[in-house]
Amino acid sequence: MHSNITTKTPPALIGMDHADLLHLCQQAEVKSVHAKQLNAWVFRHGITDTRQIPDLPHALYDYLDGHVGQLKPECMANRMAEDGTHKMLLRMPDGKEVETVLIPGPKRLTQCISTQVGCAVGCQFCLTATAGLTRNLSAAEMVSQVMTARDISDQEIRNLVLMGMGEPLHNYEEVAKFVRIVTDPLGLAFSPHRVTLSTSGLVPGIYRMIEDELPCNLAVSLNATTDDVRSQIIPINAKYPIAELMTAVREYIKFKDKNRVLIEYVMLGGINDSSEDARRLITLLDGLGCTINLLPFNPFSGTTFQRPDDATVSAFRSILVNAGMVTVVRKSKGDEISAACGQLKTEVTARRSKASFG
């Protein structure tokens, strides 16, 4: 006989902000000061087994036993490149897998965070998009990426970028909670200036970030200078065209008071890399003070897009720089460990499939 009763998994402690922890203390009928203890031991010391946290009242231990859980993803693949790029494939308790990457830089280590299992946006140049969307990640699952990487890495993580698998603004509630946990001085205590959310152009989400005063920076994956081209490579542009997107960017810059918005521009050979594109980009960004991040396309198996040659990239950048635009060409890192978004997961999945069929 099968039971219709399902057991609900208790919420993970690492997905709780300070207000949640205060509520736990209230429910356990203990002093609110113990919420700060929980904050410190969980986020500063990485102790998620509540029985290992010292000096809590017995009533709180007992309450936590029945009302909170742990979340420790299993690391299914762990690759380190010669340039120091470190990529992990993490399996969540339900078996779904996501990638997170540690990217070294001068005097800093940046972690790239996934916000969804897969993605629904369908950008034509993105490997993650080929698998579609499976589900959103919870704030706890995003925090678990940071805490897992922190345990594995021997270097302090200084910056967080929500640029991994998924469209963050399609998972706004959980992403916003994650951002508030990691920037809370009582939480993981990252400076808001060191946390960046990247979007493919969900205009309502940008306005919501403004309304909620979300404590992070904004990056916009623009990747084209005409609606014709952008709609072909980023389907969401048909709903939120470039003019509408740039209006939202202007409003965000006003809200952030002189903080730069990062404009990401994936360069696709023969598609969006002409001198005319560069000049149109200058016009689009005129007066906004944006930083432009040029990303020569990182090819993957099955794609028809090409990486532009170095001379084309250099000429494109020169036009922007000569117009006074702060422009950086991002060097591809971790090529030998499948570091581009979605590559490691695809590679591991293909290997498993091959093994299954002998």
- Return the active site residues: 99, 341
β-partners of residue 97 are 91
Tokens of 70: 């742990």
d(CA 123, CA 107): 33
Which residue, chain included where needed, has tokens 């002189």?
258
Measured in degrees and rounded to the nearest 5, phi and psi for residue 75 equal -85, 110
Helix axes 203-212, 242-256, angle to 10 degrees: 10
Contact indicator for 30, 57 with CB cutoff of 8 Å: yes
The Cβ of residue 255 has, within 10 Å, a number of other Cβ atoms equal to 16
What stretches of 29-183 show up as alpha helix (H) in DSSP? 33-39, 58-67, 139-152, 172-183
Rounded to 5 degrees, what angle do the CA atoms 92, 98, 102 make? Answer: 115
Measured in degrees and rounded to the nearest 5, phi and psi for residue 95 equal 90, -10
Contact indicator for 198, 264 with CB cutoff of 8 Å: yes
* 354 contacts: CB under 8 Å, gap ≥ 6: none
Contact indicator for 295, 266 with CB cutoff of 8 Å: yes
β-partners of residue 293 are 264, 328
Tokens of 293: 């991040």
Would you give the end-to-end CA distance of the chain in angstroms? 37
